[in-house]
Amino acid sequence: MIPELLSKSRKIVIKIGSNTLADSEGKINAGFLEEFADQTAGLIKSGKQIVIVSSGARIAGLSALGKWARKQDIHYKQALCAVGQVELMGAWLRAFAPQGLHIGQILLTRDDFGDPIRTLNMRNTLFTLVDEGIVPIINENDTVGVEEIKIGDNDTLAAQSAVLWSADLLILFSDIDGLYRKNPKDHPDAELIREVWDVEGIRKTIDAGGANPFGAGGIATKLDAAERAVSYGIPMILAHGGRPRILEALAAGTRQGTAFLAGKNR
């Protein structure tokens, strides 16, 4: 099902988590970004349009400054993200430049999705960027995001962006190969669920391990994202973003993942 979804989808939103973006030293993994940009360029040349939802601003800020790692004050966290956004976009810029592709940054908060005028502007900007061959990179605006206006996590942001753009497919890249019955990090024999048609029903059949979630952002947020996307008829793929040339591998069927499917995909 995953190769079929990738083949027939033209408008694809891809969310990349912090664990996928970071290397073993906690710095932005330039090699991953370059490989991902190369794969993305291939998809665009084949006629597809891509929107990226990218985590990693705080990691990039810590990497650039080498300090404030233990600071818990909200102002320091926001300051780290302010520095990190520049570093993160610079890394994406360098990754896509050899492909002859430009990027465009869009920073959003919950308020933006709740205001109809802002929502229309966001939608128009997305359509304009992709129609002109530019790759939009979306992230939450953590530098201004207090609790009242925070979206909360980039899984949710990715689902909201997919709905906003009327995407054909949402892909969440995390540090696990998909949805399992049990935490695969604790249970090597855990069963991978390859297709999910009922997100609410599947919640009752898996053991998320209490306070020890499967993925970096927690499996609950990924299920929430899937439920939101599927409710609008947008299928979702959950897969391990750190696997070699993962987009191509999923398209070829040589890498596994979980497909969350809407009724129209039957």
User: Which tens digits make up the pLDDT trace of 172-210?
Assistant: 998 889 999 888 878 888 889 999 998 988 888 887 554
169-174: strand order across its sheet:
103-108, 135-140, 49-54, 11-16, 169-174, 236-240, 258-260, 195-196
**Inside any domain, residue 84:** no
**Inside any domain, residue 61:** no
**Inside any domain, residue 83:** no
- Helices and strands per DSSP (H, E), number in the chain: 11, 10
**Inside any domain, residue 222:** yes
**Structural domain count, the chain:** 1
CA distance 266 to 260: 12
Predicted TM-score (pTM) above 0.85: yes
Where in the sequence is the domain holding 160, given as residue range(s)?
Answer: 2-56+95-265
**Inside any domain, residue 68:** no
**Inside any domain, residue 86:** no
Angle, helix 154-165 to helix 116-131, in steps of 10 degrees? 80
User: Which tens digits make up the pLDDT trace of 1-50?
Assistant: 999 999 999 999 999 988 888 887 778 888 999 999 999 999 999 999 99
Residue 11 sits in a domain of what CATH number?
A: 3.40.1160.10
Angle, helix 30-45 to helix 74-96, in steps of 10 degrees? 50
**Inside any domain, residue 75:** no
